[in-house]
Amino acid sequence: MLFGVYGAASEAVKRAEIRKSKMENRNTNTTEGHVGDKTQRVKSFGAANGAAPQDDKLAGVNELAEIRKSKMENRDPHGTVTQRPGRSEDRPVHVLLFVVLLWLVPCAAPVRPQNMDKPVMNVDEEVTAFAYAPDGRIIFSVRRMFKTKKYVLQRDDIWLLETNGKRKKLLDGLKFTHGDKPFTYQVESFTWSPNGHIVAIQLFTTTEDPDSEQHEDVRALLLLDDNGRELHPSGKDALVMEAESPMWLRDNGTLVYLKPEVERDLFAMQYLYMSSGPATKAFEGRTFMTAVRIPGSNSAIAIERDRNMDGPPRVQRLDLQSQDDHELATLDAFVGGLSISPTGTKIAYFVDREVLEFRDLEDPRKVARLRVGLGVLAWSADETRIYLKRTVEKKSADLVSFAVPRLVAYGKNQGVLVAEPEPFSLLHGLTVREYGLSPDGRFLAVVFPGKRNLQVFGF
């Protein structure tokens, strides 16, 4: 700014001196006998300065024309401006003025991709688990404790949160019983059927034996429709015992679940039919570390391991309906966290407690590795980012995201490079206990530690 003001002031002084000189020449050269004759005065002024007779405005026009002509003469035949002789001293001034202008122009502030200062929805309850339905509704469980004469029991209530904010209770935990022995449970997870009308609820159950004063811990599945009606695919009992990680088929009436084997390090697969009787075996004789359904299909990605734990883990594509399989890759190692992208074209999983590996399902040779730390994964709807709660399930930690890296094909014995990306922190670095993304990617639902309220934020 100081340079601009000084230049403008100098120019004004220079113009004033030129006008003064012109006025002095005009007074000197004007014919005395024709003082009142305007035409004669103009002619005398022009003749004295060696110019054609013209007024001040025409002189200014001609002066601009001369400047333009001079600029044009300094262009090369290709239209490029060349340096004028004797003007090299102007360059440092131009550079300095350019730097000053850059300093004066305000820098653009970084755009915030999230607005998470205030939740758009809040559930003021002690929430133990939740999940989005395909249509954006949220099913959640609320911790409920009550006392009997001898025991303190937990049986979570289950609620459905509509998109308009209204809630309805699907299950009253106090009224839910199983057998004739003291029974308690906590909800661990929810898995919706493809049409969003039935939900498979994974429970961690404990049954007490009053006589022996011993207890038995078993994971089980409970099936409800979105009106709270219990489904009993195994007969009179509402619970399917020793069942977890359910995977729905597209008919909305069949699911495949994992049944523990070999001290819970490996699992067998079982079919469960909503209307045609008890469970039957799937992929009989084979054992798996985990399996996740590919969205929108009757297929799943599973990590297979031999029953005696010999040999490396293998990535298998399983057709849950026909029981066909196709081996995709052999892994160096696997410690958990298997997650499939929304389009079913990529998977992510942890090869140890630090390194996350991505693999292309269409070309399994293409992989990438990030050193991010073990945690709970989720994909963004557009598959450009991966979200990570940096601890295991049911514990609290900060929530971050990373850009999904470009996957590169590696040779059989070629080492995979491990990148160390800078995490993008969400929720101002606050710790969360549970989180989930809406199917359309517009909302983030979280349960914070402490009161464990469920809050929904918009991206």
The pLDDT confidence band at residue 413, using thresholds 50, 70 and 90, is confident
Number of domains in the chain: 2
229 with 187, same domain? yes
Cα dihedral 108/112/113/117 (nearest 10):
-160
Same-domain check for residues 37 and 131: no
Tell me: the pLDDT tens digits for 373-400?
999 999 999 999 999 999 988 899 999 9
Print the domain residue range for 184. 118-241
Q: What is the mean pLDDT of the chain?
A: 81
User: Domain end: 60, 82, 104, which one?
Assistant: 104
In a domain, 225, yes or no: yes
- Which of 193, 223, 241 finishes a domain? 241
Task: Let me know whether 168 and 212 are in one domain.
Answer: yes
Q: Within a domain: residue 360?
A: no
Is residue 156 domain-shared with residue 226, that is, in the same domain?
yes
> Which of 196, 217, 241 is the last residue in one of the domains?
241
Task: Let me know whether 100 and 174 are in one domain.
Answer: no
**410 occurs within a structural domain:** no
Instruction: Name 42's bridge partners.
Output: none
pLDDT at 27: 44
Say how far apart CA 78 and CA 88 lie, in whole Å: 22
**Sign (positive or negative) of CA dihedral 217, 390, 305, 268:** positive
Does the global pTM surpass 0.85? no
Tell me, yes or no, whether 202 lies in a domain. Answer: yes
Question: What's the rounded mean pLDDT across residues 355-360?
Answer: 98
Q: What are 208-262's pLDDT values in tens digits? A: 988 888 899 999 999 999 999 999 987 788 999 999 999 999 999 999 999 999 7
Sign of torsion over alpha carbons 403, 404, 410, 412: positive
Question: Which runs of E-coded beta strand occur in 148-287?
Answer: 152-154, 157-161, 167-171, 183-192, 198-209, 214-225, 230-231, 239-241, 244-248, 254-261, 266-273, 280-282
pLDDT (tens digit per residue) in 248-304: 999 999 999 999 997 768 999 999 999 877 789 999 999 999 999 999 999 999 999
Shared-domain flag, residues 127 and 223: yes
Q: Do the domain assignments include residue 228?
A: yes
- Report d(CA 433, CA 376) in Å as an integer: 10
Residue 220 lies in a domain: yes
Do 140 and 197 share a structural domain?
A: yes
Q: CB of 381 within 8 A of CB of 437?
A: yes
Q: Are residues 25 and 122 in the same domain?
A: no
CB 17 within 8 A of CB 24: no
Give residues with Cβ within 8 angstroms of 133, minimum separation 6. 139, 192, 196, 199, 226
Same domain membership, residue 122 and residue 100 = no
Are both 22 and 135 inside the same structural domain? no
100 and 160 both lie in a single domain: no
Is residue 447 situated within a structural domain?
no
Q: Are residues 182 and 210 in the same domain?
A: yes
Indicate whether 230 belongs to any domain.
Answer: yes
